[in-house]
């Protein structure tokens, strides 16, 4: 049997050219693997046929949207994961899932090499290769765009010379990656960080400045997982999809940031994540009601580190696995309902309800029925401030 290479296939120019190039350079048979994580665009059957037309001996397509929502988006939600306190890990979440499908295909088809189309300047080369190494340490990796200095011009020339069924003229001015959890846009005029984004950058969200009626939604959570919208039961996939639609229609979830890439450079990114931002906002508020103070404080430290690990391609690392166990334990009581108003680019919580709530009305109220013994506060304040008072006295005596 010939050597075989499994290629992460998107259906675009670079990975379509890579099929023939890998076959020519290595004499290997190429199995194209396309994974649907909710990126939209062409249907899987069209992508499968294109891969075969470009020379793949076999094309595997996988509808992984439900798997992505349940096993990747939900953990990110329960972690309130926001890299640099802004980015909800749009692309970073999909890469370990794609790596998983690539390694499974490699084993199934007897391939000893996995190939991807990432450049040497981005984060995804790390996420794919570290993920593949963790899942299948014996597997080799081929990265033709990075390792052989491909340019778009070389790819177009190859496609034209070999008659590949690729539209090489319809070139977006942006580099775009999108999935169920959100959409990432970069390059083009956005690389000048003084330039403001224009409306044609966006696809998942409407202009938040447009006049419209507000949209009120009630999100029900069970142990940190969204299980109903407005009282109607939903799966995680349905919850994210519907909130992408409703929050996106209100212009919620637009982000413009300069982020620190793993490879050591800064990059300007435009993100749209309407469903993710709405869900994380609601989930955080439910945690504020149901998590004990010290646990909530420590979880904020953990979830920041969790987001950094996932961004850095360490989804399968021992530390991330241990943090998963901690976060899962924190969610035991994160059940209840959050009422939220979506309007003109904002997602504002207006109501909270939980049988697991730690909010005690009688302790919190300043009106009749107050059960808080204020007489205990004087001594508490004195003891709480005693170390600072002693230190301050020492400074005065010097």
Residue 344 neighbours by CB under 8 Å, 6+ apart = 208, 209, 210, 212, 214, 250, 251
State the pTM of this model: 0.93
Domain ranges of the chain: 4-172, 176-353, 361-397
What pLDDT does residue 2 have? 60
Average pLDDT of the residues in 372-397: 89
User: Binding site membership for ATP: which residues?
Assistant: 8-16, 117
DSSP lists the bridge partners of residue 183 as 178, 272
Neighbouring CB atoms inside 10 A of 168's CB total 16
d(CA 44, CA 61): 6
Out of 3.30.1490.190, 1.10.645.10, 3.90.1260.10, 3.30.70.20, select the CATH number for domain 176-353.
Answer: 3.90.1260.10
Residues 6+ apart with CB under 8 A from 304: 85
| pLDDT value for 398 | 77
Active site residue 14: yes
- Report how far residue 305's alpha carbon sits from residue 276's, in angstroms, rounded to the nearest whole number: 19
Q: Which of 175, 317, 354, 357 is catalytic?
A: 175
Q: How far is CA 154 from CA 17, 54, 150, 165, 174, in A?
A: 10, 16, 6, 16, 19
How far apart CA 305 and CA 323 sit, in angstroms, is 9
Structure tokens at 124: 């995804």
Nearest CA to 180 among 97, 249, 247, 237?
237
Same fold, 4-172 and 361-397: no
Highest mean pLDDT among 51-65, 169-183, 225-239: 225-239
Query: Quick check: 172 pLDDT over 60?
Result: yes
In tens, the pLDDT along 323-378 reads: 999 999 999 999 999 999 999 999 999 999 999 999 988 888 888 878 888 888 89
pLDDT of residue 85: 95
Residue 224: partners with Cβ closer than 8 Å, 6 or more residues away? 74, 77, 78, 283, 330, 331, 334, 335
SS3 262: coil
Indicate the length of the chain as a whole number: 398
Between 17 and 165, where is the model more confident? 17
Asked whether the predicted pLDDT for residue 157 surpasses 90, the reply is no
Q: Give one DSSP letter per residue of 21-83, joined into a string.
A: HHHHHH--EEEEEEEESS--SS-HHHHHHHHHHTT-SEEEEEE-HHHHIIIIIHHHHHTT--B
Encoding tokens for residue 27? Answer: 């004499």
Catalytic residue among 4, 48, 78, 95: 95
Please state the residue numbers annotated as binding site for L-citrulline.
87, 123, 127, 175, 259, 271
User: Would you state the pLDDT for residue 1?
Assistant: 42
95 among known catalytic residues: yes
Q: Which pair of tokens denotes residue 287?
A: 């945690």
The binding site for L-aspartate consists of 119, 123-124
Q: Which pLDDT score, from 0 to 100, does residue 209 have? A: 95
Which of the pair, 111 or 23, is modelled with greater confidence? 111
Give kind and range of the element (H or E) at residue 260. strand 254-260
Q: Is domain 4-172 given the CATH code 3.40.50.620 in the classification?
A: yes
The 10s digit of each residue's pLDDT in 108-125 is 999 999 999 888 888 999
Phi first, then psi: give them for residue 322, nearest 5 degrees: -70, -40
CB 286 within 8 A of CB 351: no
Query: Per-residue DSSP letters for 140-176?
Result: EEE-HHHHTT--HHHHHHHHHHTT-S---S---SSEE
Output the CATH code of domain 361-397.
1.20.5.470
What the block records as the tokens of 187 is: 């390059």
């Amino acid at each position: 049997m010939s050597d075989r290479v499994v290629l992460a296939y998107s259906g675009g120019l670079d990975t379509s050219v890579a099929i023939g190039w890998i076959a020519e350079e290595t004499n290997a048979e190429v199995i194209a693997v396309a994974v649907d994580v909710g990126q939209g665009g062409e249907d899987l059957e069209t992508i499968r046929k294109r891969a075969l037309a470009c020379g793949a001996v076999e094309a595997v397509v996988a509808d992984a949207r439900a798997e992505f929502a349940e096993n990747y988006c939900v953990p990110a939600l329960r972690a309130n994961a926001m890299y640099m306190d802004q980015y909800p890990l749009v692309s970073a979440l999909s890469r370990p899932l794609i790596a998983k499908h690539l390694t499974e295909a490699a084993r199934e088809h007897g391939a000893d090499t996995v190939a991807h189309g990432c450049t040497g300047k981005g984060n995804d080369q790390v996420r794919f290769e570290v993920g593949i190494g963790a899942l299948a340490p014996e597997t080799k990796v081929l990265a033709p765009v990075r390792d052989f200095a491909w340019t778009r011009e070389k790819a177009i020339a190859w496609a034209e010379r070999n008659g590949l069924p690729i539209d090489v003229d319809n070139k977006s001015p942006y580099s775009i990656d999108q999935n169920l959890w959100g959409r990432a846009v970069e390059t083009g005029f956005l690389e000048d960080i003084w330039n403001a984004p224009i409306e044609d950058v966006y696809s998942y969200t409407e202009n938040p400045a447009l006049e419209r009626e507000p949209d009120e939604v009630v999100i029900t959570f069970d142990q940190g997982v969204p299980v109903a919208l407005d009282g109607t039961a939903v799966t995680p996939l349905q919850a994210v999809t519907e909130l992408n639609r409703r929050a996106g229609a209100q212009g919620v979830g637009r982000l413009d940031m300069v982020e620190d890439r793993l490879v050591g450079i800064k990059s300007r990114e435009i993100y749209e994540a309407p469903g993710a931002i709405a869900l994380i906002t609601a989930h955080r508020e439910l945690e504020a009601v149901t998590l004990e103070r010290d646990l909530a404080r420590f979880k904020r430290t953990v979830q920041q580190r969790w987001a950094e690990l996932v961004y850095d391609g360490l989804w399968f690392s021992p530390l991330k696995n241990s943090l998963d166990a901690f976060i899962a334990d924190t969610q035991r009581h994160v059940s209840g309902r959050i009422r939220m108003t979506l309007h003109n680019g904002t997602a504002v919580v207006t109501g909270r309800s939980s049988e697991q709530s730690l909010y005690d009305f009688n302790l919190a109220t300043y009106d009749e029925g107050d059960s808080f013994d204020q007489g205990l506060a004087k001594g508490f304040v004195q003891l709480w401030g005693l170390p600072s008072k002693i230190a301050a006295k020492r400074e005065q005596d010097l």
